[in-house]
Amino acid sequence: MQVVFLGTSSATPTPRRFLPAAVLARQGELFLFDCGEGTQIRFRKSRLKFTRLTWILISHMHGDHVTGLLGLLMSLQMAERQEPLRIVGPAGLQDYVLMNKRLLRTDFTFPLEFTEVAGEGALVYDGPEYVIEAGLLQHRVPCYGYAVAEKDRPGVFDLAAAAALGVPVGPLFGQLQQGRSVTLDDGQVVRPEQVLGPPRPGMRVAYVSDTRPCRNALVLARGADLLIHEATFAGELADEARAKRHCTATEAAEIARQAGAKRLVLTHFSPRYLDLEPLRAEAATTFEPVECAHDLFEVEL
């Protein structure tokens, strides 16, 4: 897994920071969290190919998180994309896209598959390799955080054990690694547990933006290998953070600590902050390791 931050500002872009967007790359699939103005420009400056987008996960309908969506979709149209694109977000997202599609007199060569999340959240997707969870956060409008969580993977394949049981090198190895029993030429049945180590836990990446500290932020972040969390304000502006329904760097770090996250990356910074080190240092008094993202910052998992 890899995460690339395409935009790390809040409310308005700056000469150094575009509006919120982050991409999770997993085995050829791309998951885009939010799509602020200029996202497609940052995409072109990254090493990612937006034609590989599978999911777009929008947190809420404030402009700084969604105004780049139509431009990105039109660029995918120009690239002659054919594969379906799944778009997830709060109520109103589908109307927003389809109304702009009509007013801009554009069309798409690829199907758009919308999922609008309601209430406290939902299991958005449950597939063979991973799930996508959504949870309602505490902002001024309905806002959802997301977690992409891999399911447990098979254990490490024991070549020596397979050879001792008489399994020939070839396709049977793959079947055992996929968790299926195989029958040898002599009739012997070899079960996966005989040649595989214990299951390996999958990775979990959580994205929590535009919120006050809340229960669902903790649920999404629980045990995350990477927690991406907003830190719009430093602690000295805690009153403003409460009034505008955002978090300080310390509050983001406290969520990571309570949730048992393994790593924290802060994003969604007020444009007033040119130097982000004070926010990182503030968070580090509560949780480590912690980093401040910048545009095109990459995290390997």
User: Rounded to 5, what percent of the chain is helix, strand, coil?
Assistant: 30, 30, 45
Q: Is 147 exposed, middle or buried (0-12, 13-18, 19+ CB in 10 A)?
A: buried
Contacts 24+ apart (CB under 8 A), 165-172: 165/190, 165/194, 165/195, 167/195
CB atoms within 10 A of CB 236: 10
3-state secondary structure 91-160: CCHHHHHHHHHHHCCCCCCCCEEEEEECCCEEEEEECCCEEEEEEECCCCCCCEEEEEEECCECCCECHH
Residue 288 is classified by DSSP as S
Determine which one of 34, 64, 210, 295 is catalytic: 64
Question: Active site includes 64?
Answer: yes
Active site residues: 64
